[in-house]
Structure 1
Amino acid sequence: MNDKLFTSEHFSILKHLIRWTLIIIPIAIVIGSMVALFLWLLNWAIHFRFAHPFLLYLLPVAGVLIYFIYKLIGGSAEKGNNLIIDEIHTPGGGVPKRMAPIVLITTIITHMFGGSAGREGTAVQIGGSMAQMFGSWFKLNPADTRIVLIAGIAAGFGAVFGTPLTGAIFAMEVLTIGRIQYNALLPCLIASIIGDVTVAAWGVHHTAYHIDIFTTTPHWFSPYLSFDFVLLFKIMIASAAFGLASYLFAWMVHGIKGFFVKRISVPWLIPVIGGLIIIGLTALIGKPDYLSLGVDPEYAGAVTIPSAFHAGGADTWSWLWKTIYTTTTLATGFKGGEVTPLFYIGATLGNTLSVLMDAPVGLFAALGFIAVFAGATNTPLACTIMGVELFGGQYVLFFAVACFTAYFFSGHSGIYSAQRIGVPKVADSRFSDAATLSEAGNRRQSYVQKKLHKYGFGGKKEK
């Protein structure tokens, strides 16, 4: 019997923990500081546009400026989050240092002139870029550089939303569908916490969300059960809709981008057209509610994410308008993230469904908030934890049901085309050996074309 209380393994573990703590802390502080600067500038840019509404009419010009910034100095940084995911899976040329300042500046430009985009993509790219830079300075080997990149994603995500546990899990879960990168667990947790603390230390605050207290409707079987299964059934139905909304968003982003690339031979005209579409839609609707981030109201009574948590706080089709605005903005070359618009889409769709299904408005807005995000990024576990961090733990079961249901109903789609498929969602031969979501999308398109051809659409009908 070995009578040693502590073995050499424990000292190796201690050494491992200390090493990664010392590596990650300075990286996370820098990332958190850059995210704090970004959030401050973003808030300034949004409110500057509020005070100067005419800036929307310069959106096409802003799009051309963004195009030439990336054309002249962007290089591989144009690939955005997908570049970081690819670099983690298959190390190549690395994540360029210039990615962080370029995406920060171009995202601010997008929002200042009214483009409908988010902020997570910018924070993640800042995190990946800074992590790569520090990895080079520290002369880390490829395996450790990979872990540092994952931790950079965690730091950026946790810092930008004020959800450190979510940031850690998101970074480990988003890379491969069906698998979590547990080898990066400690670095991701440290990075996300330090990133979030750093943002708070700079005095930057996050939006607080709240679910109003509600009472469940009694049913004839209530005396026999302590759980409201009717409400759970409504949540399951709504969550399927959230998953389909995720699928629609991803499909539109990739579809609109492909449409313009194939049909517009002059690349800088694409953002011009995108900007004109946004201007035209805003004139058609008659209000600016679906521009920019969608968190702060431009005027009293505007539809925002916080307003969706209350009865009458969203229009019936707010979620669809935001989908059209954001997919058009991002697909035509403007910069930013997808996640905050997904929060907006989910919260407003939840608001609409709560009316149709006679369900608690605040709860359904919160479920849509996290579930549409879960379906679009294929990160149901991280989004369940996000629900707890943002709204409290009393509804964690509902959060889990919503996120996992939306995850399945979004299919093999997502906003990150470089995301790997480790474990397919269903045993379908079309996707069982697909390597990435991009490949799965190509197979889906081929499958649909074959079906259309079979039934006489687009070609001769098969005999």
Structure 2
Amino acid sequence: MNQANPFFYVLKWLLFVLLIGLLSGSASAIFLVALDWAAEVREANLWIIALLPLGGFLIGWFYYRYGTRAVLGNNLLLDEIYEQKEPIPLRMTPMVLLGTVITHLFGGSAGREGTAVQMGGSLADQLQKWFPMSSAERRLVLICGVAGGFASVFGTPLAGAFFALEWMLERKVNWRSIVPTFATAFVADATCEILWGVGHTTYVISEVAPHTIVNFLWVIPAGIAFGLSGRLFAWCTHFFSKIFTHGISYPPLRPVIGGILIALFVWISDSTTYLGLGVPRIVEAFETPLPWYDWLAKTGLTSFTLGAGFKGGEVTPLFFTGATLGNALSAWIPLPLSLLAGMGLVGVFSGATNTPVACTLMGLELFGLEAGFFLAFASGIAFLASGESSIYSSQKLTSKPVFLRKKENSNQESSSPQARQ
């Protein structure tokens, strides 16, 4: 299985692609079914939200006692891409799966992308225990795992592949990584949707504005709003994480306190709209005007949930934030409501994750080609407007446009890992 022999090299990567795709796609299928079950149980038994502090303690204690490096979540995957140290623990997969299901079951506000990406990455990294591989091959295996997890949990293989490449490699894509990454994403998506029969939510842009200069000019203020919203989401997530980390020294107690406050919020507001994934509200954002503050409430509640130590992802809450913000902007921007909701869905995601190309591809996969120019323009503007913010603290942003980078003194301009940290 030497790279010098093209036949065995291709055969090895074909095996890797199939294994990673099947594993990550199957994990996502189990995860999505479990999330649907958790949401149904919670909505049918709203009293269970009172047990959120107990659920938080279970998550916090297990991660504190058994989590080791798995507690770093998505940032561990990024750290291993930038500077490989040791294998990602297999325990990350069951722990993040169960932790996220518990979060959703008892009423936390979180997403699913982070869980799928961590499962895909940790499962893929186990291959190095069975197959000899170089550091470059191991890096590509991790990228394929992330692509498989993202693609299968959202049903967007193109966006999943490019998200992994763009997110993990600062948009410096090696052509050798393209084919395995895209192939893995398609295998994982097919495994989840065709092999296991687990589908995905459909969002519809019912009306697209004419492609005129005036309409595209209106995308600029909308894109800036989406970028700033993504920046706010990232800032709030890091802010609450620091508050809980520095304010409560015993980790299992953090989600307990957070769970009490979230349960109080639900009791006072008498609403479960902002709990869980919030998919029904996202669908509504494409159809009818909603309260202007929906995007702000979801931003605060999700960042608080994750900052307190509950498990889950950020992307679906970013979809919620973007779609409802676009919905609210329809009162001032003369573009169709559903188009603004779709632009917001990909735009806020782009601003918070620094992945404008992946977000554009996701928009095309979700909404079709007709709205493509609007979606791409909104994603690009949001990416620029968000500055150097990111929901992932370990993500390196050195490929941001020069005029957006912070000025550094000569001692900080070194390209060494120590200087960049």
Q: Which has the higher contact order (CA 8 A, sep 6+)?
A: 2
The answer for the alignment partner of 2:399 in structure 1 is: 423
- Partner letter of residue 286 of structure 1? D
Shift in Å, 1:171? 0.5
User: Partner residue of 1:461?
Assistant: none
Equivalent-residue separation in structure 2 for 1:131 and 1:337 (angstroms): 19
Match of 1:135 in 2: 128
Structure 1 contact 176–419 (Cα < 8 Å) conserved: no
Q: Say yes or no: does 1:207 pair with 2:201.
A: yes
Contact 2:278–2:320, Cα closer than 8 Å, also in 1:
yes
Which of the residues 95, 111, 119 maps onto 2:88? Answer: 95
2:279 corresponds in structure 1 to: 295
Say which is worse superposed, 418-427 or 203-212, in terms of deviation: 418-427
- Does 2:267 match 1:267? no
CA gap 1:351/1:434 in 2 versus in 1, 3 angstroms: farther
Q: Secondary structure at the match of 1:420?
A: coil
How many residues are treated as equivalent by the alignment? 413
- Shift of the 137–13 alpha-carbon distance from structure 1 to 2, 3 Å rule, reads closer
Distance 1:148 1:268 in 2: 33
Partner of 2:331: 355
CA contact (8 A) 2:205 2:367 kept: yes
Where do residues 44-123 of structure 1 align in structure 2 (5 Å cutoff)? 44-123=37-116
Distance in structure 2 (CA, Å) of the matches to 1:329 and 1:55:
17
Q: Structure 1 residue 358: deviation in Å?
A: 2.8
Larger Rg: 1
2:162 is aligned to 169
1:58 deviation in Å? 0.7
TM-score (norm 1): 0.85
* C-alpha separation in 1, matches of 2:415 and 2:316: 28
Query: Cα gap change, 1:25/1:178 in structure 2, threshold over 3 Å: closer, same or farther?
Result: closer
RMSD, aligned CA: 2.2
Structure 2 residue aligned with 1:188: 181
Letter in 2 for 1:256: F
Residue 268 (structure 2) pairs with residue 284 (structure 1)? yes
Separation in structure 2 between the aligned mates of residue 285 and residue 424 of structure 1, nearest angstrom:
40
- Aligned residue runs from structure 1 range 278-427, under 5 A: 278-296=262-280, 304-312=281-289, 314-427=290-403
Change (3 A) 1:264 1:160: same
- Structure 1 unaligned regions, length at least 5: 1-10, 217-226, 297-303, 443-463
Q: Match for 1:19 among 12, 21, 27?
A: 12
The secondary structure found in structure 2 opposite 1:177 is coil
What is the CA–CA distance in structure 1 between the aligned matches of 2:415 and 2:383, rounded to whole Å?
18
Q: Which amino acid aligns with 1:191?
A: T
Structure 2 Cα separation of the partners of residues 28 and 116 of structure 1: 28
Unaligned ranges ≥5, structure 2: none
Identity of aligned residues (%): 43
The alignment partner of 1:287 has SS state of: coil
Summarize the Cα distance change of 1:435–1:366 in structure 2 as closer, same or farther, 3 Å threshold: farther
Find the aligned partners of 1:193 and 1:435 in 2 and give their Cα distance. Answer: 35
Aligned counterparts of 2:8 and 2:379: Cα–Cα separation in 1: 37
**Cα–Cα, structure 1 residues 343 and 434, in superposed 2: closer, same or farther, change >3 Å?**
farther
The answer (yes or no) to whether the contact 2:165–2:171 under 8 Å persists in 1 is no
Shift of 1:181: 4.3
- TM-score normalised to the size of structure 2? 0.93
Letter in 1 for 2:202: A
